[in-house]
Amino acid sequence: MTTRLLVTAAALALTAGTAGALTLDVLHFNDFHSRIESINRFDSTCPAADEAEGKCFGGVARLATKINELRDGIRARGGHVVVLEAGDAYQGSLFYTTYKGKVEAEFLEAIGLDAMALGNHEFDDGPEGLANLLDIVTFPVLASNLDVSQSNVLAGRIAKHAIIDAGGVRVGIVAALNRDTMEISSPGPTVIFHEEVEALRAAVAALAEQGVTIIIALNHMGLPADLELAAEVAGIDAIVGGHSHTWLSASDPGRAGAYPTWVTRADGSAVPVVQAGSYGRYLGHLTLEFDDAGTLVFAGGDTLLLDAKVVPDATIAARVAALAGPIEELKSEIVAATAAPVDGSRDNCRARECTMGNLVAEAMLARAAGQGVTIAIQNGGGLRASIDAGEVTMGEVLAVLPFQNTLSTFQLTGAGVLAALENGVSQIADGAGRFPQVAGLRFTVEAAAPAGSRISEVMVRAGDGWAPIDAAAVYGVVSNNFMRAGGDGYRVFAREATNAYDYGPDLADVLAEYLAAHAPYTPALDGRITIK
């Protein structure tokens, strides 16, 4: 078996379909984040001029072209294929802000998904927001570890497992959604989350009772969690994941890891784990081969870059253009200019000081300074795009801050601020969105220290200088309403903040006004966060 598992992606075209009793092709993507239109290298909406010059990637029309091309070719050869989406189709562009999931649902249905896993962002507008998708799609939407029976909106509409007929082959799908969703999104009190390993084991057992021998876990947990689940849950043949936006590749040296990444269980069996980056830039194509006994003997494939060589589907492109009409005027409004690119990349803003984090935190602080506020804290996961140099449109601002969060001010002791910072860096190795981008603060992170004891050398602005934070003193703080309510683990804000006021305005408007007042804005790092 080991020899087969190490077959290279280059040899895949020669071997797939020639060995074993069954070959199954899995086309997959994840963390689409409402990138309905094509994106540029900063993951923001790609301008028409750049599209004409072949500089754009992804977009739902391009994604549809590649899926149809591969699926039609596989079926024409008599093969078996499934198309899967591993969660977070919602949130990240003006299409979501405007249509609240209905557009994403329409296009996922048009693409012809076989199954979708719930992502945390599908709950950003509560169960009612998720219902916008469920009202439209006909494919199963899955989360094996959720109990939605108490929800009058979702009861009976989220499956714990599904069986897909792939050209006469029964393929079982199970799914796990990270329990952090209770903190980082808004599922509400009627959606109950169960432990993922036991939930997956139960779903696998239920499928096995129905005679299903091929089982894929379609998870929204992140690559580190998927690697653990692969080792712990027997009966799963492959894991198709999302949430961590991890780009795995069999061919590109710039990858974050190998496609597939293998996990060996205690019994010697091996499980391939795959993920396809984010924002529709890549489509994953995983080929699985099974022998006569239903044992996996080969897995290979790659993530496919959806660049200008892939011609967008004309029908879907026309529909996108029609839907874009009502929001085009807002998107094209020029609000400011920047002297250099502002980095809002996930890799940086969730792990260290980033220029977008500095910009947004300073904008928040400037807006609230008249209320006696001296500290701003913004979660890195709330920053969803970068901004290129030159003119800045409102569309670009909204791509950075798509969540319609509003400013929240409150008072908090220095001890509470320290607890908030410790929470912010508690999951730094996982790239969690709670990482704190700040203004009016300086601090050091001992990344290798145990969680809860990583923060040191905290300084607060005092006039034109800096002073050590006083645990007993009370400080004026500005954040966003999501964090103020305890989101991303910032429970100290919800429990200990006093004189809290979710007064608004929308954080995107705050950023646009700050940029306009400082145009052309020059981004910079100043060492406010030191990582050791």
| CA atoms lying within 13 Å on the CB side of residue 282 | 24
pLDDT of the residue at 7? 33
Residues 348, 295, single domain; the answer is: no
Query: Which H helix or E strand runs over 464?
Result: none
Residues 344, 458, single domain; the answer is: yes
pLDDT of the residue at 93? 85
Domain final residue, candidates 321, 347, 367: 321
Structure tokens belonging to residue 21: 């009793």
- Do residues 40 and 46 lie in contact, with contact meaning Cβ atoms separated by under 8 Å? yes
pLDDT of the residue at 54? 97
107 three-class SS: helix
Residues 199, 337, single domain; the answer is: no
Residues 188, 144, single domain; the answer is: yes
Residues 317, 339, single domain; the answer is: no
pLDDT of the residue at 339? 97
Indicate whether 14 belongs to any domain.
no
Q: N- to C-terminal Cα distance for the chain?
A: 43
For the stretch 80-108, what's the b/e string if a residue is b when 16 or more beta carbons lie within 10 angstroms of its beta carbon?
A: bbbbbbbbbbbbbbbbbbebbbebbbbbb
Residues 156, 237, single domain; the answer is: yes
Structure tokens belonging to residue 435: 């990482």
Residues 428, 314, single domain; the answer is: no
Residues 70, 179, single domain; the answer is: yes
0.95 exceeded by pTM: no
Domain final residue, candidates 286, 321, 356: 321
For the stretch 283-304, what's the b/e string if a residue is b when 16 or more beta carbons lie within 10 angstroms of its beta carbon?
A: bbbbbbbbeeeeebbbbbbbbb
C-alpha–C-alpha distance, residues 409 and 515, integer Å: 21
Q: How many C-beta atoms lie closer than 10 Å to residue 268's C-beta?
A: 8
- Phi and psi for 501 in degrees, rounded to 5? -150, 110
pLDDT of the residue at 10? 30
- Do residues 289 and 19 lie in contact, with contact meaning Cβ atoms separated by under 8 Å? yes
Indicate whether 366 belongs to any domain.
yes
Indicate whether 294 belongs to any domain.
yes
379 three-class SS: strand
pLDDT of the residue at 406? 83
Structure tokens belonging to residue 9: 């992606």
Residues 78, 193, single domain; the answer is: yes
Q: Domain of 267: which CATH number?
A: 3.60.21.10
Burial class (CB in 10 A: 0-12, 13-18, 19+), 14: exposed
C-alpha–C-alpha distance, residues 269 and 4, integer Å: 13
Q: Could you tell me the mean pLDDT of each successive run of 10 residues in the chain, 532 residues long? A: 33 35 96 94 86 97 98 97 97 88 98 98 95 98 98 98 95 96 91 98 98 97 96 98 95 96 96 97 98 93 98 98 88 93 96 98 95 96 96 94 87 98 96 97 97 98 95 97 92 94 81 97 98 96
Closest Cα partner for 221 from 113, 288, 143? Answer: 143
C-alpha–C-alpha distance, residues 348 and 213, integer Å: 42
Residues 305, 344, single domain; the answer is: no
Residues 250, 351, single domain; the answer is: no
408 three-class SS: strand
- In terms of residue numbers, what domain contains 174? 22-321
Indicate whether 116 belongs to any domain.
yes
On the question of a cis peptide bond just before residue 520, with omega within 30 degrees of 0, the verdict is: yes
DSSP at 22 = E
pLDDT of the residue at 21? 83
As for how many domains the chain has, the answer is: 2
| CA atoms lying within 13 Å on the CB side of residue 516 | 12
Specify the amino acid at residue 351.
A
pLDDT of the residue at 4? 37
Q: Domain of 416: which CATH number?
A: 3.90.780.10
Task: Work out whether strand 238-240 and strand 270-274 pair parallel, antiparallel, or are unpaired.
Answer: parallel
Structure tokens belonging to residue 444: 């050091």
Indicate whether 17 belongs to any domain.
no
Residues 353, 292, single domain; the answer is: no
236 three-class SS: coil
Indicate whether 3 belongs to any domain.
no
269-274-280 Cα angle (round to 5)? 170
Indicate whether 327 belongs to any domain.
no
C-alpha–C-alpha distance, residues 447 and 464, integer Å: 29
Indicate whether 12 belongs to any domain.
no
